[in-house]
Structure 1
Amino acid sequence: MNPLHQNPDTSNWYGRKSTEIEYWHQATISVNDLKFDTSAGNPKVGILGYAGEEGVKRNQGRLGTAAAPNSIRNMMGSLAFHLPQNCQVFDYGDVITSNEDLESSHQLISETVTKLLETKHLPILFGGGHDLAYAHAKGIYDYLKPSGKKLGIINMDSHFDLRPLVNGKGHSGSPFLQLAQEYGADFNYLCLGVQRSVNPKSLFATAEKTNSQWMVMEDFRLNNWEVIQEKILWFLDSMDQIYLSVDMDGFSSAFAPGVSAPSPMGFRPEFAFKVFELISKSQKVISMDVVELNPNFDQDNCTARLAARCAEYIARKVFS
């Protein structure tokens, strides 16, 4: 057993009892030691937690994200299960960080994501710091490399997360810069909901240099839907597969107070879910994550509930 992996705890999945499978806690099967289900035919979801906050610490954020995966599981278990009847859901536990060795955690996450895709799962990752995106995307790139398929990354976030490394090391603010540096022309990035107040001019310059695309929060609003839809559809049409990352700090802190970097001016849930539906309808979403939940600052689990709803909704739309 890998010391950086923790087996799932079935007690984290709970909810209303039913004689049939009607809720996520009933549909979810806990699997130990990363023994992936290799059965063919039926659709599958593979849940993996990232119980880590070293990247947040390096980025001077508020600590507490290590508790996020179980907090999301607790809220997701009671949600009604609307995936196809033959769809199987597997919880593969959490990747942790030991002795500040973020890089080893990232390596295990990348390897696990690749294996999940090879065994025909839809990976859904719960974080944890947004440094998860670097490891998550690397796993997808490794999987797609033999096919030559073009990967597009869509990040719903108030931050570009294109910050420079700290002392040569990655952190929760640098994942997409690391990917841009590593994959060059194969790095295709669209960031939705960028807020100028938390992204200095230098980051907009970095976004230009890395050929990133984005929409600032002032334009990422319902009254501008036709323009937003056109930009997203153009990006979707130019890609073969999509990795969707949802940073909970992209939401307004009125709906998501429990994050590492709260913002009062983020997007509203009903608008975000409209975007999720548009992206999911493309049938190109290959993997997804929800990140930056910080239960230490949550209120009545409202941010964890919203994170769980994001994961459930996207999975439901992907399989519909």
Structure 2
Amino acid sequence: MRYAPDMARWHGRSDTEEGLLGRRWHEVIQPLNADTATGVAFVGFASDAGVARNHGRIGARNGPATLRAMLSNMPVRHAAISMTDAGDVICEPDDNGDGLEAAQNELSTALAELLQRQLLPIVLGGGHEMAFGSFGGLARFLAQHEPDTVPRIGIVNLDAHFDLRQGDQASSGTPFRQIAEDCQARGWPFNYCCLGVSAFSNTEALFDRASKLGVRWRLDDEMDLTQREASLDTLRDFLAGVDHVYFTICLDVLPAAIAPGVSAPAARGVGLEVIEPLLDLVSASGKLRLADVAELNPAHDIDNRTARVAARLIARLVERSGAADDSSKTP
């Protein structure tokens, strides 16, 4: 089900004595309306049905509300950037057990509408099952906008897992395999770059499938600070071969000490000193069309560590994406 934005969720400190330079996000964000024409549009994806199907720790359903709470107090650093809340897609269980599939379809519809309005959608998750819905929204938009063109969409996933699993049902472990199948059905290339992969969290079957699908990846132990330039070079090379980027961050790519509130905490992970430059490179590419942040599980967070780092990454993405310039989002 799709729900209108509840702006009461955006609240926080007000430093009125500081004037305009003291504003925070909760004081400037607006609900999406017919007049919204530029900037960032946040969409919540309240679901952990895919995590449950994947036998993970449930709780990501509450991620969007917690992320809005953390983002509320972010300082307004670039007044030209317009930010709107486009509401939530909520996965509701049903008698047929296909509530997740319905929610993914609803998310795709919502994102295609936002892209049509030349907004930059950022999805607040929610389990990584959202990825199939996110990609679907971009695919719908491009198929309608450029029906005679085969689009070169690049998926950049910062993640400890490939999420290429086989399965009878969609889950948080299957979205990129589903996307690969969707691309094959459309006659489109499948361009997937997964950075931060753990050799100890993915089976040989997954590495084999990634290889056969032409996935580019780097392992987490190949992405420490001394190897940062090599990681950036991998991403630069990938971005050079695509025209549109769907950027997705699974918070379990981060070390567990930084991000304990996820479905599957990382034994090693990739530090922020590497993750943030990768984010900056995607933002500066001029090819970013939509983004999402997955797997925040507030029930298992400690002192809101994971929520705070997720909010920092989202705010950095907003600031560096060129969201105030709608030309950066026109295909």
- The letter for the 2-side match of 1:119 is R
Root-mean-square deviation (Å): 1.5
1:97-116 correspondence runs (5 A): 97-99=91-93, 100=97, 101-116=99-114
Q: Equivalents in 1 of 2:126, 2:243: separation in Å?
A: 27
- The letter for the 2-side match of 1:142 is R
Q: Equivalents in 1 of 2:118, 2:45: separation in Å?
A: 21
Q: Is the 8 A contact 2:228 2:274 kept in 1?
A: no
Structure 1 position 59 matched with structure 2 position 54: yes
Partner deviation per Cα, 1:223-272 (whole Å, 9 max, x = no partner)? 11232122111111111111110000110010000000111300112221
- Normalising by structure 2, we get a TM-score of 0.89
Residue 38 of structure 1, CA deviation: 4.7
Residue 123 of structure 1, CA deviation: 0.2
Find the counterpart in structure 2 of residue 243 from structure 1: 246
Structure 1 position 24 matched with structure 2 position 25: yes
Is the partner of 1:186 in helix, strand or coil? coil
Aligned residues with identical type, % of pairs: 34
Is the partner of 1:15 in helix, strand or coil? coil
1:146-185 correspondence runs (5 A): 146-147=145-146, 148=149, 149-165=151-167, 168-184=168-184, 185=188
Which of 76, 79, 92 aligns to 1:81? It is 76
Find the counterpart in structure 1 of residue 329 from structure 2: none
Distance 1:257 1:39, change over 3 A: closer
Find the counterpart in structure 2 of residue 70 from structure 1: 65
- Normalising by structure 1, we get a TM-score of 0.92
Q: Is the 8 A contact 2:46 2:89 kept in 1?
A: yes
Find the counterpart in structure 2 of residue 125 from structure 1: 123
Which of 252, 257, 264 aligns to 1:254? It is 257
Find the counterpart in structure 2 of residue 95 from structure 1: 89
Find the counterpart in structure 1 of residue 133 from structure 2: 135
Q: Is the 8 A contact 1:254 1:264 kept in 2?
A: no
Find the counterpart in structure 2 of residue 190 from structure 1: 193
Q: Equivalents in 2 of 1:38, 1:180: separation in Å?
A: 36
The total of aligned residue pairs comes to 308
Q: Equivalents in 1 of 2:288, 2:316: separation in Å?
A: 13
Q: Equivalents in 2 of 1:314, 1:37: separation in Å?
A: 25
Which of 4, 9, 17 aligns to 1:7? It is 4
Residue 11 of structure 1, CA deviation: 2.5
Partner deviation per Cα, 1:86-105 (whole Å, 9 max, x = no partner)? 33211111111122411110
- The letter for the 2-side match of 1:155 is N
Q: Equivalents in 1 of 2:61, 2:218: separation in Å?
A: 30
Which of 274, 299, 302 aligns to 1:299? It is 302
Is the partner of 2:5 in helix, strand or coil? coil
Q: Is the 8 A contact 2:225 2:273 kept in 1?
A: no
Partner deviation per Cα, 1:13-40 (whole Å, 9 max, x = no partner)? 1222134372111121134xxxx54554
Q: Equivalents in 2 of 1:270, 1:82: separation in Å?
A: 21
Is the partner of 1:197 in helix, strand or coil? coil
Structure 1 position 311 matched with structure 2 position 314: yes
Residue 182 of structure 1, CA deviation: 1.2
Is the partner of 2:20 in helix, strand or coil? coil
Find the counterpart in structure 1 of residue 234 from structure 2: 231
Is the partner of 1:229 in helix, strand or coil? helix
Is the partner of 2:111 in helix, strand or coil? helix
Is the partner of 1:189 in helix, strand or coil? strand
